[in-house]
């Protein structure tokens, strides 16, 4: 199958990249990412070219690489869903399993589908600096009609390998394709975008004094940090806006009391007037490169 071929090429390309140990680590990873991405595509297009040649001989209209799309025959990609349409969040060590679902249609039915994630300024070996390809040989396809199928491709995002530098946080591109039973092929270099973000966390939450008299001041402190993929550690996230929130005793609904900024090292501090017993916490909204984070709650009784 096409995916077996592409993975074999990708493995060889990866081995070549690993041989460049004299180069800086970042450069070696960039070279590996670009070569793996192109190897994956070359494996796909080996079948695409064969299908195109066969259909051209029989007078069937086909095309190869028009802009960002390869189309051979009348197969179509109808929908692509990545990680349930949610951001992909990665920390410093735990691997993240991501499912990609490709729905495609062809009059003769769907045989297989493929997908990968890539990061870079354009889709070529020189400008792709991050890539995540599937390890499975074939997609798991559910042929829910004679002409259409939804295929699952599973990717594993490994912060210690795939996300070798924090600069990779943010918008990634989704490469998706489908193969029909009659050899028709369609793929798209940038079918859609997905965001892979650095995990954030708020630790050491404390609201004091405990207990406190009604009308007195409560001081809440905590620390906001986020994952560094470059060094595989969490570091303070400075100059970021976070919300001090409060939920009355017996309620799970939090309201924002005030918004404050972290210090240069990620320290959070906010004051509020004690009016009733309840739980205090800090909340950090997500941004384009970093996930949202919520601290543990700290209950304070008001006398």
pLDDT digits (tens, 9 = 90+) for 220-251: 999 999 999 999 999 999 999 999 999 999 99
pLDDT, residue 62, reads 44
Q: How far apart are CA 18 and CA 23, in angstroms?
A: 10
pLDDT, residue 32, reads 75
pLDDT, residue 15, reads 31
Domain 2-197 in CATH 2.40.50.140? The answer is: no
Q: Give me the chain's average pLDDT, please.
A: 85
More confident residue, 104 or 125: 104
Residues in the chain: 303
Percent of the chain with pLDDT over 90: 72
More confident residue, 126 or 53: 126
Q: 56 pLDDT exceeds 50? A: no
Q: 168 pLDDT exceeds 60? A: yes
Listed in order, strand segments (DSSP E) in the chain are 62-66, 69-72, 76-82, 88-90, 96-105, 110-120, 128-132, 140-142, 148-157, 170-180, 185-198, 200-208, 217-228, 233-236, 241-248, 255-261, 267-273, 278-284, 293-294, 298-300
Q: 29 pLDDT exceeds 90? A: no
| Range 87-91 average pLDDT | 98
Q: pLDDT-based confidence at 37, cuts 50/70/90?
A: confident
Burial 225-263 (b: 16+ CB within 10 A, else e): bbbbbeeeebeebeebebbbbbbeeeeeebeebeebebe
pLDDT, residue 47, reads 54
Phi, psi of 40 (to 5 degrees): -60, -45
Cis peptide, bond prior to residue 209, ω within 30 of zero: yes
pLDDT, residue 4, reads 33
Dig out the tokens for 217 from the structure: 């001041």
Q: pLDDT-based confidence at 138, cuts 50/70/90?
A: confident
What are the structural domain ranges in the chain? Answer: 2-197, 200-300
| Range 52-58 average pLDDT | 48
Q: Any idea which fold 200-300 has? A: Immunoglobulin-like (2.60.40)
Burial 272-291 (b: 16+ CB within 10 A, else e): eebeebbbbbbbbeeeebbb
Q: Give yes or no for a contact between 101 and 152, defined as CB atoms under 8 angstroms apart.
A: yes
pLDDT, residue 51, reads 53
181-213 per-position pLDDT tens digit: 998 999 899 999 999 999 999 999 999 999 999
Q: pLDDT-based confidence at 22, cuts 50/70/90?
A: very low
Q: 61 pLDDT exceeds 80? A: no
Q: Give yes or no for a contact between 134 and 2, defined as CB atoms under 8 angstroms apart.
A: no
Q: Give yes or no for a contact between 30 and 120, defined as CB atoms under 8 angstroms apart.
A: no
Q: pLDDT-based confidence at 171, cuts 50/70/90?
A: very high
Q: 63 pLDDT exceeds 80? A: no
């Amino acid at each position: 199958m096409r995916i077996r071929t592409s993975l074999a090429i990708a493995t060889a390309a990866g081995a070549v990249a690993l041989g460049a140990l004299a180069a800086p680590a970042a450069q070696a990873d960039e070279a590996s990412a670009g070569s793996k991405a192109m190897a994956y595509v070359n494996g796909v297009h080996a079948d695409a070219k064969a299908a195109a040649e066969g259909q051209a001989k029989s007078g069937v209209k086909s095309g190869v690489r028009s802009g960002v799309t390869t189309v051979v025959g009348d197969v179509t990609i109808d929908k692509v869903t990545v990680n349930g349409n949610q951001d992909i969040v990665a920390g410093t060590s735990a691997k993240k399993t991501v499912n990609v679902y490709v729905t495609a249609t062809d009059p003769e039915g769907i045989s297989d589908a493929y997908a990968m994630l890539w990061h870079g300024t354009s889709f070529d070996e020189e400008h792709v600096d991050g890539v995540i390809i599937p390890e499975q040989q074939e997609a798991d396809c559910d042929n829910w009609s004679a002409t259409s199928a939804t295929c699952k491709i599973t990717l594993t995002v490994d912060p210690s390998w795939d996300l070798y530098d924090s600069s990779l946080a943010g918008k990634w591109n989704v490469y998706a394709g489908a193969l029909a039973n009659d050899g028709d092929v369609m793929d798209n270099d940038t079918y859609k975008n997905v965001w892979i973000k650095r995990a954030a966390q708020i630790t050491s939450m404390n609201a004091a004094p405990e207990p406190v008299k009604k009308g007195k001041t409560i001081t809440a402190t905590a620390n906001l940090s986020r994952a560094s993929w470059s060094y595989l550690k969490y570091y303070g996230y400075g100059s970021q806006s976070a919300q001090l929130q409060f939920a009355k005793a017996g309620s799970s609904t939090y309201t924002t009391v005030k918004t404050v900024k972290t210090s240069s090292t990620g320290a959070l501090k906010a004051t509020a007037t004690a009016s009733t017993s309840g739980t205090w916490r800090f909340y950090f909204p997500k941004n384009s490169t970093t996930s949202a984070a919520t601290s543990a709650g700290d209950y304070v009784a008001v006398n």
